[in-house]
Amino acid sequence: MNRALTVLSLALLGSAHAATLTLWTSFEAAGELAWIKAQAAAFEKATGHKVNVVSVPFAQTQDKFIQSAPKGQGPDLIATEPHDRLGRYAASGVIEPMDKYITSKADLDKTALSAFTYQGKLFGLPLNAEAVALVYNRALVPQAPTTWDAFLRAAKANTGNGRFGYLSDIAEPYKSYGFVSAYGGYVFRNNGGTLDTKDIGLDNAGTAKALGFLNDLRYKYGLVAEGVSQDAAKSAFVDGRLAMFYTGPWDMGDIKKAGIDYGILPFPTPPGATGKWSPFVGVRGILVSAYSKNKTVAVQMARQLTSSASQLSFNQANGSIPTSLSARAKLRADPVVAGFGRAVALGTPMPNIPQMGAVWGPWAAATAQGVQKANQPYSDLLKKAVTEIESNINK
């Protein structure tokens, strides 16, 4: 037996003794807490390893872990963390790279895997994902509007007499990114899994066209009136007065309660776009501590939590969109999973590096200004925003 295989065998044998893992979770909802505790119990029964589940408030998890892990006081793994926190964790050296433990990634959504990749390395295992999509009322829009022309016809046919054809908070940059991407814009250039903070695409011609498109939704097409908030749009949809609503899975509980017969699909490619609509995707997953004394067992637990079977049970607990492709396939009759799953597959992960914190404020200000009145100087607004972003990054 060669030396590499011997070392691997010894590592696996070393995990055969009963270990005790500490798992931090910020889950608060009853169904999610019950799920993680059931997973811990199942892992204990199957492996003989003990799992202590500790609740830590979401707002405290990141700082507490970064400070405590190097002292040997942190958890062995966390379930779950959003991927946009990943960069700070990885840069702090407190989370374990996962590539050497994961032999096959074929069942995991590529967008979700990309979300947990930092500087070319996989630093976590994705559990569930979310993205915005177009939710439409079948009573008002009988045929799915899969093209821009079909969308515009449906929107105009349902605008007026107390009804609305389409509503969204067009000043919110998170929701607008799908259009930015369609027209060729981006936040940071992605070079093989590494985001280049010196190559910002929010002031290029594509992003200017996207901002112009958002402006057109209000002033050219007359669809989104000034002052429309996301809550107002949701209220109109659940009341049956809105034909098409641009939102994410977080609003589906209220829509289901209202008894709306709905469909969900990716937003159609906007007019004149060179690419397809690709929304921001948020992913939550499992992180393993780089300081864990039981890494092999912690990874084993992380793999169980993100297995297809576990993702199916997590969906039953909270309706989340699995990152496991086989789990999604088994849930293909669920319109929420199928609809938003397509949006996730088409999407782009939100940047997971700390520098993204410098982006939101200036980008939001430029977007809000760009839709305040018709025919704004889009390029100038965006160039000003990027100058401020670069200044913020360099502070």
Q: What pLDDT, in 10s, does the model give residues 69-115?
A: 999 899 999 999 999 999 999 999 999 999 999 888 999 999 999 99
- CA angle 340/362/170 to nearest 5° reads 40
Tell me if 31 sits within 8 A of 44, measured CB to CB. Answer: no
For residue 293, give the amino acid letter: K
* Separation CA 271–CA 309 (nearest Å): 41
280-301 tens-digit pLDDT: 999 999 999 999 999 999 999 9
- The confidence band for 12, taking pLDDT boundaries of 50, 70 and 90, is very low
- For residues 369 and 18, the model is more confident at 369
* pLDDT score of 16: 55
pLDDT at residue 14 greater than cutoff 60: no
